[in-house]
Amino acid sequence: MKLGIGPDGPIAGRRVAITGMGVVSCCGVGTEALWSGLNVPPPVGERRVPEFDPERWFTAKEARQVDRFAQFSVAVAAMALEDAGDVAADPGRSAVIMGTGVGGLETLETQILIFGEKGPRRVSPRLVPMMMTNAGAAAISIRTGWHGPSETITTACAAGAHSIGHAARLVASGRCDVAIGGAAEAGMTGVGIAAFANMTALSTSGNSRPFDVRRDGFVITEGAGAFVLEAWDHALARGAHIYGELAGSASTADAHHITAPIPGGSGAAACMTLAMEDAGITLDQVGHINAHGTSTPLNDRAESDAITKVFGSASPPVTSTKGITGHGLGASGAIEAVAAVLSIQHRLIPPTAGYEQPDPEIHLDVVAGQARPWVPAPVLSNSFGFGGHNGCLVIAPA
């Protein structure tokens, strides 16, 4: 395996090490909470982040001036940096790339109500800096003092994968030695939930059942995930613990419909193929697919068709962690990338919660019931978003 090195691929240059991780999800705060949550029955009711205390990272006054999605962004970045240890980063050669789907929706919704009830003079002067989608990345760069690229990617539910992939390319290309790549979302507001419900995207049964014949829509959640990504030699020189390698990534567009995936999954299939080519691996070297698997009828069928198109009738073991976490919109790809590393670390593929009755039109080896032992190998992590955005990551064992 070339694993991202060599002059012929889109990532040409340095290998990219994963040296730190941070995550908040409906399973709890931190990687241990996420891993524990992925291996027990799904939660009942709303899937919000429990017991999240922003004052662990902010003063009380600061917390009131930062939207929840940006609080999540700062939290996972801080956890990832703490996990990575002293990265000894040159501020000018360090980047922050964070994604989100809707940004500060909670703040926007609150201030619109204030505008209607109390008039324009009562609208908060903090509205714009709190609602803007780049607030998370900006807050992280301000706190770290990093002067390299600080950017935000908003490609709906593919934003997490795209942000991590872009951060890795900045390191691999030599522009940066260290980068934080991840995404955050906090869109569980009254209007946000109503909008998804009225477009019939949400499960009417309240269950997330990826790839199951009974699937009837996704269960919305919130959260965030982030990696510290380093040039391999940079990580080795400082004696860092290396969790794995961000070996490849790809991005394509369906160019088909604003919400529906293209039938047959050709865009997703192309994205998976390009990501593997980027990593320099062959089909038989992929040991596991962390699927997008939202539990919507069209999305799961299109992804299944795409995987079959690429791998044939013998797909690698497939799991969708959304059976537990629900769908975190723009944050989902980042949370799932952390889950992929944990799967390598624990030598177990977590089961797809809710998958009990196979769909006869889906021909995948879906891991269900209990975690499956495996010999860690490259993981393909898929993320697909409204607008036809496709993002795929290849995460390999160290």
Nearest to 66 by CA among 126, 146, 26: 126
250: CB partners within 8 A, 6+ apart: 10, 165, 271, 272, 273, 274, 275, 277, 278, 390, 391, 392
Hey, which residues are catalytic here?
157, 292, 327
The C-alpha R_g of the chain, in whole angstroms, comes to 20
What are the CA-CA distances from residue 261 to residues 1, 119, 129, 131, 207 (Å)?
A: 31, 42, 33, 28, 22
* CB-based contact 254:267 (threshold 8 Å): yes
* CB-based contact 300:263 (threshold 8 Å): no
**To which residue do tokens 């990826």 refer?**
210
- 348 sits in the region (left: phi over 0; alpha: psi -120 to 50; else beta) called beta
